[in-house]
Structure 1
Amino acid sequence: MKKPLLLSKAAITKMQAIIIAVIIIIAAIAGVAYYFYSKPPVEKTEIVIGVVHSKTGVMQPQMIYHVYQMWLVNKTNAKGGLYVPEYGKRLPIRVIEYDDESNLERMLTLTKKLIIEDKVDLIFAPISTAFCFAAFSLYEQYHYPVIALTFGSDIAAEKMRTGEYKYCFSVLGMPSETGKEVADLLVHVNSTKTRISKIGILFHADQHGVEYAGAIYSNLAMKGFSIPVYQSYQPYTTDFTPMINSLKDANVDVAILCGYQEGSTFIKQCKTLNFNPKLIFTGPTIEVPFLVYGPFGFTKQDLIGVCYYDGWPATAYNTPTLQQWRQEHVQHFGYEPFPASAVFYAAIECLFQAVERVGLDREKIRNALATQEFDTIVGKTRLRPGYSMQCELAGTITQWQGGDIMEVVWPLSAKSADIVLRPGY
């Protein structure tokens, strides 16, 4: 029979020492964890927001779309700053601003600088679809929730919906959404006002032009419209004569130009060449009162019947709150707002309200933007990943009708005026 194993006093003492040591280590770890997880956040004196946009170069005119960021920053700072719940107080906002000189690679380099060197709390998106698309991968890599104002791409929108671009949000209608709105509006015009049979589409040979023209073409074709002219043009095109002659020869009822400020040249050359379609649709910059009645040199009569396919959600500023905001806009900037002015302002309101609800934790900000509803200048507002921003007080397609600002003509439930045809019809 085996004798039971007996531990010596020395062995027992050694085991006790090991147990005591383990207990001390566990207690120390728990103490350190408690210290780090229970202590208040490191004191901050300001919120730092970074932005890289095109203050010089060929894209500089589009800076007019980014004025609402600083306007709201200044208005917020005038109230003491943005309330941050983890600190229980308002913090002033400081903006670090860099000029990408309209160069995409420079924009990416400076965006990395904002994140890695400046360690900004938040970021405002750059200007244009191409620049935003290029920057999205950086926002994803470093987990910065960003609302892109001047952006529209179905390719990127799909990535937003699948979660590949989970930190990126858009405001304007995506190409597929816009294509449907344009097609539905023209079906309405065809059935209630005048026959619309043939439509010509010209488009700037860049991502915006290609995607929006393609989506509009597809939706029009599905509705049974004929598109005899579908032609791209190169950047900096100044002579549209051959393309306008093609539109005239095809006898199109509607001309659509998916581009930018060159749309002003197109409209003027249509008049010079005696080409007067029933409707003209153009893209960004032709909706801005300051530009069309200023540098572009149009009269109000010149633009009657010109529609704007992009830049929605859009408003005609015909509610008491928006009328007051329009007056403040004119007083502050010296010119009238464009259809999406209040919507761009509202998008920044969403970002700031998210911070006031959840603090400066960027994961929480991202989740708030993706799931919550916000009260903004355009009413109840939601950011929908991969789609246009949903606004209570906004429509989609707008049109110049001889006034100081554009009218909302679509959808009918949101219209401020019925659509009109170009003079002569």
Structure 2
Amino acid sequence: MIHFKMAKLTTTLLIIMMVVVVMLAGCGKSDVPVKAQKDYILIGRVNPVTGPLASFGTGTPQIEEKAIEAINKEGGIYIAEYGKKLPIKIIVADSESNPTKAAEAANKLILQDKVDLLMAAHTPDTVNPVAAAAERHKIPCITVDALSDAWLSGGPYTWNYHAFWKVHSLVDVYLDMWDQLSTNKKIGLIAPNDPDGMAIADMLKKKAPERGYSLVDPGRFPPNTKDYTAMINQFKQADVDIVLAMQIPPDFATAWKQMKQQGLVPKVMSAAKAILFPADIAALGDDLGEGLTTEVWWSPVSGNKSSLTGQTSLELAKMWTDLSGRQPMATLGYKHASMEIVVDALKRAQSLDRNKLREAIKSTNIDTVVGHIQYNDQNLAETLLVGGQWVKGKTWPWEMNIISNKKMPIVPLSAEAMKDMPSSR
């Protein structure tokens, strides 16, 4: 019995000493809740690195990483639950320009990589599947660069916030450009049965007659169509002066070359989505890009500035050329603006709690390099765009002239283009 009591007393004393040590260890520390160790904020970025949309994905993650370079050098962003600054780390997953692969990439980033926030860009083929994954797993998600009407078709959204223009603005830009030339105002439409194609067809049917134009629409067809002869014959019979295509780059190249071969050369050849980048124009070959018109999402001559770095659009463009040796592209501004939105939200949230971060994104109200970003009750921040025309360049083989800026007068017109705007003939 004596030995048992002594052992019991010794055990009691040890427990008391351990409690005291724990209490003393806590003295002088902050009231920040104890969290598992975390070394960085992890952002997952779904991007078309390969496939027919790869030209859209060019520049990721270099542009995003340059946007946060200064912040990371200073230690990152203060996160209250960890009581310290955390740098931002970006992990990129390839969508392979395929909606199914985009969904798989998003799920992997969420479930395996345990990202704190998702980002995605570059057409509904990438954005919509990622948005769906974010909603399913209840994780904050910031998206850009997909026709907003097509994005909205996947809603309503609780966790995804999108910034881009809507199809009504796109159609207005094309009509504004076409108004500058003398034509018979007959439009031939090439639009597949994907979300972009259906959206532009519906809006053009509504707006074209209001502006005095008639529309020749052969109907929707599958992407990757190889023979456009029936459409071309229909356009020739209708004597269209204007053709508008809403296609991915390789599909448009096929259609445009067949039009040339079969003797259909309209006064105006416009292509949405297909010829946004100099590489797409160069890939047409044989000077087939001369005079083609398209929408311009962002331009080095835009008057907007970055809320994150203070760079003007021109400075951002120069940074990219110095970094890559390559010509600035239309997606550059939106890639940078994505990080402006992310950093602004993280700074205000000071938290990686999903609900707190979502609320911070929801209340975004900033001026970015692509314009003002403020989300509405559908989680959409509608941006604007201008119209441009590809011409042989002086600095680069192909350069973009801004020829219509009614939607966004902060972007100056290219004076040379307005003096002698060449047709596609």
TM-score, normalised on structure 1?
A: 0.75
The one of 382, 396, 399 equivalent to 2:389 is: 399
The one of 306, 324, 338 equivalent to 2:292 is: 306
Question: Which residue pairs with 1:179 in the alignment?
Answer: 171
Deviations 1:47-103 (CA, angstroms, capped at 9, x unpaired): 112234443445444432745664446635762453134256542233333334444
Deviations 1:321-366 (CA, angstroms, capped at 9, x unpaired): 2222211111222221223421332122111221122222333333
| 1:120 aligned onto 2:115 | yes
Question: Which residue pairs with 1:83 in the alignment?
Answer: 77
Q: Cα distance, 1:286 vs. partner? A: 0.7
**Aligned equivalents of 1:179, 1:424: Cα separation in 2:** 19
Change (3 A) 1:94 1:100: same
**Aligned equivalents of 2:206, 2:293: Cα separation in 1:** 19
Query: 2:289–2:390: 8 Å Cα contact kept in structure 1?
Result: yes
Question: Which residue pairs with 2:318 in the alignment?
Answer: 327
Deviations 1:267-304 (CA, angstroms, capped at 9, x unpaired): 334333443322222122411013323x33364xx434
Change (3 A) 1:296 1:195: closer
Query: 2:188–2:243: 8 Å Cα contact kept in structure 1?
Result: yes
* Consecutive unaligned residues in structure 2, runs of 5 or more: 1-30, 304-310, 394-398
Q: Cα distance, 1:258 vs. partner? A: 0.9
Q: Cα distance, 1:236 vs. partner? A: 2.0
Query: 1:153–1:175: 8 Å Cα contact kept in structure 2?
Result: yes
Q: Cα distance, 1:383 vs. partner? A: 4.4
Query: 1:287–1:406: 8 Å Cα contact kept in structure 2?
Result: no
| 1:278 aligned onto 2:267 | yes
**Aligned equivalents of 1:323, 1:141: Cα separation in 2:** 39
222-231 or 100-109, which deviates more? 100-109
Question: Which residue pairs with 1:21 in the alignment?
Answer: none
Query: 2:300–2:328: 8 Å Cα contact kept in structure 1?
Result: no
Query: 2:166–2:382: 8 Å Cα contact kept in structure 1?
Result: no
**Aligned equivalents of 2:167, 2:302: Cα separation in 1:** 27
Task: Find the structure with the greater CA-based Rg.
Answer: 1
The one of 229, 237, 254 equivalent to 1:265 is: 254
The one of 153, 160, 165 equivalent to 1:168 is: 160
**Aligned equivalents of 1:49, 1:61: Cα separation in 2:** 22
Query: 1:399–1:409: 8 Å Cα contact kept in structure 2?
Result: no
The one of 40, 44, 49 equivalent to 2:43 is: 49
**Aligned equivalents of 1:205, 1:381: Cα separation in 2:** 30
| 1:416 aligned onto 2:413 | yes
Change (3 A) 1:96 1:422: same
**Aligned equivalents of 2:160, 2:170: Cα separation in 1:** 20
**Aligned equivalents of 1:65, 1:85: Cα separation in 2:** 28
**Aligned equivalents of 1:371, 1:321: Cα separation in 2:** 24
Query: 1:276–1:422: 8 Å Cα contact kept in structure 2?
Result: no
1:39 alignment partner, SS class: coil
TM-score, normalised on structure 2?
A: 0.75
Change (3 A) 1:121 1:238: same
Query: 2:44–2:118: 8 Å Cα contact kept in structure 1?
Result: yes
| 1:39 aligned onto 2:59 | no
Change (3 A) 1:155 1:106: closer
Change (3 A) 1:291 1:248: same
Change (3 A) 1:169 1:196: farther
Question: Which residue pairs with 2:281 in the alignment?
Answer: 292
Q: Cα distance, 1:158 vs. partner? A: 6.0
269-278 or 380-389, which deviates more? 380-389
CA RMSD of aligned residues (A): 3.4
**Aligned equivalents of 2:217, 2:102: Cα separation in 1:** 36
Q: Cα distance, 1:226 vs. partner? A: 0.9
Query: 2:268–2:424: 8 Å Cα contact kept in structure 1?
Result: no
Query: 2:50–2:97: 8 Å Cα contact kept in structure 1?
Result: yes
Change (3 A) 1:159 1:259: closer
Deviations 1:299-329 (CA, angstroms, capped at 9, x unpaired): 4xx43432214x63x3242558222221111
* Consecutive unaligned residues in structure 1, runs of 5 or more: 1-36
Q: Cα distance, 1:177 vs. partner? A: 3.5
Letter in 2 for 1:128: T
Deviations 1:24-65 (CA, angstroms, capped at 9, x unpaired): xxxxxxxxxxxxx96255542111122344434454444327
**Aligned equivalents of 2:208, 2:97: Cα separation in 1:** 34
2:284 alignment partner, SS class: coil
The one of 213, 219, 222 equivalent to 2:201 is: 213
Query: 2:191–2:219: 8 Å Cα contact kept in structure 1?
Result: yes
Give aligned pairs, total: 377
| 1:377 aligned onto 2:356 | no
The percentage of aligned residue pairs carrying the same residue is 23
Question: Which residue pairs with 1:34 in the alignment?
Answer: none
The one of 94, 97, 118 equivalent to 1:99 is: 94
Deviations 1:226-263 (CA, angstroms, capped at 9, x unpaired): 11234333322344343223222211121100111022
Query: 1:174–1:387: 8 Å Cα contact kept in structure 2?
Result: no
Deviations 1:360-405 (CA, angstroms, capped at 9, x unpaired): 23333333333332243345443456587456xx633332244423
1:44 alignment partner, SS class: coil
Query: 2:53–2:248: 8 Å Cα contact kept in structure 1?
Result: no
1:405 alignment partner, SS class: strand
**Aligned equivalents of 1:132, 1:342: Cα separation in 2:** 17
Question: Which residue pairs with 1:317 in the alignment?
Answer: 301
| 1:136 aligned onto 2:128 | no
Query: 1:80–1:91: 8 Å Cα contact kept in structure 2?
Result: no
Query: 2:183–2:267: 8 Å Cα contact kept in structure 1?
Result: no
